[in-house]
A and B are shown apart, each in its own frame.
Chain A
């Protein structure tokens, strides 16, 4: 089913509430570099991989913001921004807009305000977020399970069974680990935790996934305390 642009589905959300979210996007320091003006040429949609699979249009999203169409913006904020793969192919815009960048800002606002649609969109990513934020590295080898990513093919099962051995066969010693992509230096990890604390990333996590926040809180507070930092997340 196509995206409903009528805004009927959000009629009960007060206009002022939607308007405040649009203002928040526009007030972001990056906004001026991401959104100039749009003349509807469609190059962003033409370049967009997501547009081939979903009823998704970076052009319409950019237009809704350029026009300051509050109701339409709110529809896209909820029902469209998560269809973007953030590949930034749309950056070829002749007006030098960045629809992808604009979507980044919109996602941040959606997460910051704990919109139900954002929570739902991020639900499946709890494990990935946990990995990145606790270990400081991306998807780790031990996530490579045969049942987790069936589209990766049958050989994944063999690799998963002897993961430890495979990893030890890799020359760099920093890769001789299975819980993280590579061994992260303790100091680096501490700094990452402090950055996430100071920049409000943990507050965003709390808005969308309270359970995940509590798990991360335990891990981070303990490690920070061991390193001599008196930091609490709440």
Chain B
């Protein structure tokens, strides 16, 4: 059996689960995280509660982190990046660069890329919703921060909003922007945040402008229906074309396709439901290990429906949102799958 550890790059939900899984089975894992804290985007972007179960994100990620930091099978390297990689399945030579400690070369048997995503920047391609122009136009991520602080107010004047809306599919499902895919989580996250806003600011009316609500599986009855039936969130089919300023409020223009008429509605806060794009780390690590990226620059998986973690390089696996939009449940599941596939590949390579 190989005594070389399996390298995992990225300490978010997928990477944490992969590392824990590998150690649980009795193999060694090296977990490399570029930030000084484990937990990934849910922690670094100050998510308030997880979708769909409303469990505090910090608490859930702390539980996952604790499972690897107190685990003799996992060598956690914080503030570290991978700067070079050579070799093949069974024997990769990898250079780690750790802040204040410099470079170190290690040998690993296989690698798992769990380098995640970044939130779409609504100012990147188009200014149509005025994200950089109007203080009261924010993103799902900005609202998560407000919810974490328990204080949802208009950035422009510090007052609680009376009318707040979400605009779905910002930076997703858009040929012109280049992200043709659905980002999978924004519908659920918007519904979850809408409930949180209604709880925190009960007098605020909340609207969600959408193309289709993609509330697959239990999200339907866990967040979508309750947001309507219990929290009176208004879903209006139709995507806004623009947000303009009117007095000290925002005016959202779109089509109310439900009623078949144009729509112009005043809002105090407009929340852009931004989707997912590959993180810089995903692109860099894919390139470093020679794994192909797909047309959106997520790491390409080659196993189709029956193997969601194999890449174009033998011995290099990818999981979580490094391979495309994924929610936390899927990320953790694919982290487990990657751990299993990496161990399997390594055992076969050593015994044959």
A72: nearest residue on chain B (CB-CB)? B259
- Say which residue of B213, B224, B236, B258 sits within 8 Å of A60 (CB atoms): B258
Q: Which residues of A contact B259 (CB under 8 A)?
A: 5, 60, 63, 72
Q: For A5, list chain B residues within 8 Å (CB).
A: 259-261
Given contacts A60-B259, A63-B259, A72-B259, contact A36 B229 (CB under 8 A): yes
- Contact yes or no, B225 A37, CB < 8 A: yes
Contacting residues, chain B, for A59 (C-beta < 8 A)? 258
Which residues of A, 177-214, contact B by the 8 Å Cβ criterion? none
Q: How far is the CA of A16 from the CA of B237 in the complex (A)?
A: 27
Tell me, yes or no, whether A66 is within 8 Å of chain B by CB: yes
- Shortest C-beta distance, B223 to chain A (Å), equals 12
State which size class the interface on A falls in. Answer: 10 to 19
Q: How far, in angstroms, from A72 to B261 measured CA to CA in the complex?
A: 12
The chain B residue with its CB closest to the CB of A68 is B232
A contact residues around B261 at 8 Å (CB): 5-6
- When distances are taken between beta carbons in the complex, the residues of chain A under 8 Å from B229 are 36-37
Is A53 an interface residue, CB under 8 A from the partner?
no
Within 8 A of B (CB), among A95-119: 95
Within 8 A of A (CB), among B152-197: none
Instruction: Decide if A67 touches B236 in the complex (CB within 8 Å).
Output: yes
Residue B45 at the A interface, CB < 8 A?
Answer: no
Chain A nearest CB from B274 CB (Å) reads 23
Chain B proximity mask over A32-69: 1 for CB below 8 Å, otherwise 0: 00001111100000000000000000011001001110
Are B232 and A63 interface neighbours, CB within 8 A? no
Shortest Cβ gap from B208 to chain A (Å): 11
Residue of A nearest to B236 (CB): A67
Do B258 and A36 touch across chains, with their CB atoms under 8 A apart? no
Per-position contact with A for B234-269: 1 when CB-CB < 8 Å, else 0? 111100000000000000000000111100000000
A67/B234 in contact, CB under 8 A: yes
The distance from the CB of B135 to the nearest CB of chain A, in whole angstroms, is 27
CA distance A66 to B237 in the complex (A): 14
Q: Contact between A39 and B213 (Cβ–Cβ < 8 Å)? A: yes
Residues of A within 8 A of B127 (CB): none
Instruction: Give Cα A15 to B229, complex, Å.
Output: 24
Taking a contact as CB atoms under 8 Å apart, the answer to whether A36 and B232 are in contact is: no
Q: Is B128 an interface residue (CB 8 A)?
A: no
CB-CB nearest in chain A for B226: A37
**How many Å lie between the Cα of A168 and that of B310 in the bound state?**
87
The smallest C-beta distance from B163 to any residue of chain A, in angstroms, reads 12
Known: A39-B213, A39-B235, A40-B237. A66 touches B258 (CB 8 A): no
* Contact indicator A63/B228 (Cβ below 8 Å): no
Inter-chain CA distance A105–B260, complex, in Å, is 25
CA A91 to CA B218, docked complex, whole Å: 24
User: Which residues of B lie under 8 Å from residue A6 when comparing CB positions?
Assistant: 261
Most buried by A among B205, B213, B258, B260: B258
- Bound-state Cα–Cα, A72 to B228, Å: 19
Specify which of A37, A63, A68 is in contact with B258 (CB 8 Å cutoff): A63
Max chain B C-beta neighbours (<10 A), residue from A40, A67, A72 = A67
Known: A5-B259, A63-B259. A36 touches B236 (CB 8 A): no
Q: Which of A39, A66, A72 has the most CB of B within 10 A?
A: A39
Given the complex of chains A and B, what is the CA–CA distance between A136 and B258 in angstroms? Answer: 42
**What 4 A-B pairs have minimum CB-CB distances, sorted nearest first?**
A37-B228, A67-B234, A37-B229, A36-B229
Interface, chain A (partner B; CB < 8 A): 5-6, 36-40, 59-60, 63, 66-68, 72, 95
Q: List 16 A-B contacts (CB under 8 A).
A: A5-B259, A6-B261, A36-B225, A37-B225, A39-B235, A40-B235, A40-B237, A40-B258, A63-B258, A63-B259, A66-B228, A67-B234, A67-B236, A68-B205, A68-B232, A72-B259
